[in-house]
Chain A
Amino acid sequence: MDFIVKGFFQALQLLLRGDKEVYSIAFLTLKVSGLATLISLLLGVPLGLYLAVSRFRGREFFLGGVNAGMGLPPTVVGLWVALFFWRRGPLGFLGLMYTPTAMVIAQTVIATPLVAGLTLSAVQQLSPKLRLQILALGASPLQFWWLIIKEVRLGILAAVMAGFGRVIAEVGASMAVGGNVRWYSRVLTTSIVLEVNRGNFSLALALSFVLLFITYSVTYLLTVLQQRRRQT
């Protein structure tokens, strides 16, 4: 119990005294996971909408892929992205291995199926006749998609929360493609693993409180937004 209390106060101390390294790690964590969530939103929402509304041969294959992708182990994603960006890998010439960019890419791969799957599920909960009704009201294709997005906005916000929660909490992919390089690619989860390995439990606990604080704050803001939209 002392450990936890000590860790909590150490976290407060680190934040209050403006520990540069902790702030840099926290900022990079937010930047990498925020960017990955944003990109996964841009990729996952259209993919989810398309799979929900369209009928084409092989659709089930893609649906299976999205559903399986929702549970992709981050370590596996890290391995595959690392293989691609490795010096002798197909994309090795880009020189992205052990960079925050590679971490954003890996986290995007993790979050996109989740965002797509939850968007798909939200659209499929709408009455199929509603889609016909929107078209019958004279919607152009662009207007049609916009109205569908507006109708499932609460589901999309839930997808954003789930996607962000998943990538900010993952450690395997960030470790594999980011390398946990101090002052460069170290994020909160990889730092916590490092401190645990060193037996530095109080610092690991302190960092975990920072991570929990960030995760809760972002999710809280999104929840407030979601609930306000529900009331309007």
Chain B
Amino acid sequence: MTPVLQVKNILVRRGRRFRLRVDEFAVEPGEVVALIGPNGAGKSTLLTILACLSQAHEGEVFFQGERVDRRNALTVRRQLSVVFQEPLLLDSSVLANAALGLRLRGQRAGAEDRARAWLERFGVGHLFAQNALTLSGGEAQRVSLARAFALNPQVLLLDEPFASIDVISRTPLIKEFKAVLTSTKTTAVLVTHDFQEVLALASRVVVLDQGRIRTEGTPTEIAAHQIWGKLAGAQIPG
């Protein structure tokens, strides 16, 4: 099966040293891959390269088998969705924010209905007319997730999407997110520090450290692996 997203021989430098060096990393359709590792491991850098938001100094990115370059980067970006740690909503209504990606793709008819349906699904439909900048952190991240799913992406890329949400709101949101992910069979790549999220969401875990992929496996395999204990800043389950 052709991977939906793939990178080969990626090298990102910072000065004379490398920040990221990945020989190969592929995301298969339907899987949820968690990228874990300590701060500075290169997880977010890899995610922005996968999202075609930054370019590596060397290496190639493939989307559904086709090489991504400057000419088709926008077309590829329009088949992906990215959710960052901060909700990053614009200074307009919640509904306008949720429908923004669809509008940018030229989809006018039905954009608001679709966005509103996703807002309802994430439990923030009643806030549709409110200015997005007045929402609480949890509400704003729900809008951000609704905005991402409204685009029906081929791959959903998430950079610690639950990290800025308080613990009380986080657990139910992860549960809802898991339900949506399963029902829509969305392929996803999740950068996280939280092993509870990994256990709840991921089908495969890739461990990055000092810019390199150290190991990969199922969440249970990684939890039992000795490398897990060495990862600074990571939470050990149990």
A residues lining the B interface (CB < 8 Å)? 127, 129-130, 132-140, 143, 147, 150-151, 232
B residues contacting A by CB (< 8 A) are: 48, 51, 53, 74, 77-78, 80-82, 84, 86, 88, 90-92, 100-101, 104-105, 131, 147, 151, 157
Residue from B91, B104, B147, B151 in contact with A139 in the complex, judged by beta carbons closer than 8 Å:
B104
Contact B74 A132 (CB under 8 A): no
Is the beta-carbon distance between A132 and B90 smaller than 8 angstroms? no
Cβ-defined contact, A147 with B90, below 8 A:
yes
Q: Across the interface, which residues of A come within 8 angstroms of B105, CB to CB?
A: 138
**Do A138 and B86 touch across chains, with their CB atoms under 8 A apart?**
no
17 pairs from A and B in contact (CB 8 Å cutoff): A129-B88, A130-B88, A132-B82, A133-B84, A133-B88, A136-B51, A136-B53, A136-B80, A136-B81, A136-B157, A137-B100, A138-B74, A138-B105, A138-B151, A140-B104, A150-B90, A150-B91
Given contacts A136-B80, A150-B90, 16 further A-B contacts (CB under 8 A): A127-B86, A129-B86, A130-B88, A132-B53, A132-B82, A133-B82, A133-B88, A134-B90, A136-B81, A137-B100, A137-B101, A138-B74, A138-B104, A143-B104, A147-B90, A232-B131
Q: In this complex, what residue of A is CB-closest to B80?
A: A136
Q: CA A133 – CA B80 in complex, angstroms?
A: 12
Give complex CA distance A129, B74 in Å: 18
B82:A136 contact, CB within 8 angstroms: yes
CA of A156 to CA of B56 in the docked complex: distance in angstroms? 34
Contact of A138 among B77, B84, B131 (CB under 8 A): B77
| Residue among B77, B92, B131 making CB contact with A136, cutoff 8 Å | B77
Whether the pair B78, A138 counts as a contact (CB closer than 8 A) is: yes
Residues of A within 8 A of B84 (CB): 129, 132-133
Q: Tell me the bound Cα distance from A133 to B53 in angstroms.
A: 9
Q: Verify B53–A135 contact, CB threshold 8 A.
A: yes
B residues in contact with A133, CB < 8 Å: 82, 84, 88
Q: In chain A, what residue has the closest Cβ to B90?
A: A151
A132-B53, A133-B82 as given contacts; A140 in contact with B74, CB under 8 Å: yes
Which of A130, A132, A140, A150 is B48 in contact with, Cβ under 8 Å? A132
Shortest Cβ gap from A154 to chain B (Å): 9
Bound Cα distance from A143 to B74, whole angstroms:
12
Assembly CA distance A140 to B103 (angstroms): 12
A134 to B51, CA, bound (A): 12
Nearest A residue to B157 by beta-carbon distance?
A: A136
List chain B residues, Cβ under 8 A from A132. Answer: 48, 53, 82, 84
Q: For the complex, what is the distance from the CA of A150 to the CA of B91, rounded to whole Å?
A: 8
Which residue, of A127, A133, A139, A232, has the highest number of chain B Cβ atoms within 10 A?
A133
A127 to B77: give the CA distance in the assembly, Å: 20
In whole Å, how far is A132's beta carbon from the nearest beta carbon of chain B?
Answer: 5
Compute how far the CA of A136 lies from the CA of B157 in the bound complex, rounded to whole angstroms: 10
Which residue from chain B places its CB closest to the CB of A229 in the assembled complex?
B91
Residue of B nearest to A152 (CB): B91
